Amino acid sequence: MSEIKKKQLHSYLSDDLIIQEILTRFPVKSVLRFKSVSKQWYSTLSSSDFANAHLIKSPFSHPSAPVNTLLIMDHYNCCYLFSYDDDDQISGNFEDNLVKLDVDFGVGKDRLRLTGCCNGLVCLTPAWYEYFIIWNPATRKLHKYPSHGYFTRPYEADRVSITCGFGYASSVDDYKFVGILSVVQGSTTSNIVHVFSMRENRWRNIEFGHDPLFILNLGVFVTDKLYWSTYPSKQAGYLLVRFDLAVERFDVINIDQHKSDFFGVMRGCLSKCNYSEAFTGDRVLHIMEPPIIVKSIVLPKRLKLDCFSQMIGFTKTDKFFVTGSFSDETADFVPGRTLGIVDTCTKPMQYKVLLRFNKLIKIVRYVQSLVSPFPIEKPSEA
């Protein structure tokens, strides 16, 4: 391009227009390179305002958008990205779409658990919740947040459950980590709740505000809210606990729930499915707006989805990912080590194995972003 044409183009496009209307539509990797153009661009492209604008314009950022990338973590802190395209299945060798990430979390021998993923930020916790880590795989930045002993198990307790959740409160533009201790001592149950705000960079203790419940499993994040299931109470059976991240208030919801139901997010909605081995018929996937079921999908017994433990979103052609213990013509059951996909549109419905792992795995839907994993000073590289 001649110098004259370059000057003419620049006269029509201001830096603000280039940054807000053009660069926000580029992939994360390209934006990171553009930071070297000038000090002004570095400052602008590193800002939270640009990160939010870039995320909004991502075609995959909306909770109901099709899933095309998964983040996979095994039992020994090894992480992978897996890409899937409905239109690109000629070879059938899906291992070619699996990329191992070079990351050192700096936690020694601690085994981390993949506890949540939101707007490109991944939340990881060790077994005893001495800290939690927020990590952005796209920018390779991470930060470890200490829990200051808030989740130490009371030595005098008869029974203790510690669980957590991570999510984003859009109305206040704040990412929050929520930790809950459910403590049973004799005939008394209590709930102790601590919330960490990344915007304020501090912990707060808040009231549960309801009759104490024994809360189980990790929180499931759906549009500004976290959901947990509970151990059954004598009065109400199994309940669902919902936490509004913006106003920091708990609600307790009574839903039709089996003891082996597990929860996930499908098309931006809370969903549950039964996988009990004692349940000998078809499996049923319920997509919900709690406590109302808005859609149900029957998963025929012949698919042999006997012990699947995760369901992860829909692709653009209504397939969805599952993990767990499956069998097919070429393999026996491999507990918790298989990634497969269910095609709900074929007649009959079909299940296909995509990947097998040698270790237990946890999988979440992943969307690249520029969102910072830390609220203070200087970030560290993974």
pLDDT in tens, 3-28: 554 455 455 667 777 778 888 888 99
Whether 38 maps to a domain, the answer reads yes
Whether 133 maps to a domain, the answer reads no
Whether 17 maps to a domain, the answer reads yes
Range of the domain at 32: 3-46
Residue 378 has pLDDT above 50, yes or no: no
Q: Write the pLDDT tens digit of every residue in 140-152.
A: 999 999 999 999 8
Q: CA-based angle 276:336:214, to the nearest 5?
A: 55
CA neighbor of 314 nearest in space, from 343, 281, 354:
343
Instruction: Give this prediction's pTM.
Output: 0.89
The predicted pLDDT at position 9 comes to 47
Strand ordering across the sheet containing 319-325: 292-299, 283-289, 269-274, 261-266, 307-314, 319-325, 338-343, 350-356
Whether 162 maps to a domain, the answer reads no
As a whole number of angstroms, the distance between CA 289 and CA 223 comes to 11
The predicted pLDDT at position 87 comes to 76
The predicted pLDDT at position 1 comes to 43
State how far the alpha carbon of 200 is from the alpha carbons of 16, 122, 177, 197, 243, in Å: 29, 19, 12, 5, 19
Whether 228 maps to a domain, the answer reads no
3-class SS of residue 52? helix
Beta strand residue intervals within 234-315, DSSP E = 239-244, 249-254, 261-266, 269-274, 283-289, 292-299, 307-314
Split at pLDDT 50, 70, 90, the class of 231 is confident
Residue 179 has pLDDT above 90, yes or no: yes
Whether 36 maps to a domain, the answer reads yes
Split at pLDDT 50, 70, 90, the class of 283 is confident
Q: Of the ranges 193-202, 250-259, 336-345, which is most confident?
A: 193-202
The type of residue at 193 is V
As a whole number of angstroms, the distance between CA 218 and CA 213 comes to 15
Cβ(41)–Cβ(339) below 8 Å: no
The type of residue at 124 is L
**67-71, 116-120, 218-222, 234-238: segment of lowest average pLDDT:** 234-238
Beta strand residue intervals within 48-92, DSSP E = 69-74, 79-83
Number of domains comprising the chain: 1
The predicted pLDDT at position 6 comes to 46
Higher pLDDT among residues 276 and 112, named by residue: 112
Residue 199 has pLDDT above 90, yes or no: yes
Higher pLDDT among residues 90 and 305, named by residue: 305
Burial class of residue 226 in the structure, from the number of CB atoms within 10 Å of its CB (0-12 exposed, 13-18 middle, 19+ buried): buried
Whether 179 maps to a domain, the answer reads no
As a whole number of angstroms, the distance between CA 137 and CA 307 comes to 30
Give me the percent of the chain exceeding a pLDDT of 90: 47
Q: Write the pLDDT tens digit of every residue in 67-120.
A: 999 999 998 899 999 999 887 655 567 888 999 999 999 999 999 999 999 999
Q: Write the pLDDT tens digit of every residue in 26-36.
A: 899 999 998 88
Split at pLDDT 50, 70, 90, the class of 379 is very low
Tell me the average pLDDT across 225-242: 84
The predicted pLDDT at position 380 comes to 46
Whether 150 maps to a domain, the answer reads no
